[in-house]
Amino acid sequence: MSAPRAVCLVSGGMDSAVALAIARAEGRACYALSVDYGQRHAVELACAARVARALGAVEHRVVALDLRARDGSALGNSALGGSALTSDAAVPKDRAHAAIGR
């Protein structure tokens, strides 16, 4: 009997790495899926590939879904606003905790 299968969304971050690790610990054959949504930092997808490989995913696929494609804004809808992850805006760094969200 083959192992139960699972598709795990893997971003390269800690949360998705833990989810993949739990699925593997449960004995599942895991297929890792990442999304290239037009993020400016390719390091996210590189980390996702390393996580998938390190945790023994059967396969890792990256699906291209450029959320900037329609009108340049996040999710292709200007009513939803933009994102520092996909726009040309500078990524905020080294802000005081109290300043986050302002």
- Rounded Cα distance between 50 and 27, Å, is 20
Distances (CA, A) of 94 to 29, 34, 98, 99, 100: 40, 28, 12, 10, 10
Q: 11-20, 58-67, 85-94: lowest mean pLDDT where?
A: 85-94
- Give the mean model confidence (pLDDT) for residues 37-48: 86
Q: What is the per-residue pLDDT for 68? A: 60
| CATH hierarchy code of domain 5-99 | 3.40.50.620
Count of Cβ atoms closer than 10 Å to residue 75 Cβ:
16
pLDDT, tens digit, 9 for 90 and up, residues 8-27: 999 999 999 999 999 999 99
Question: Edge-to-edge, what's the strand order for the sheet holding 5-9?
Answer: 5-9, 29-36, 59-64
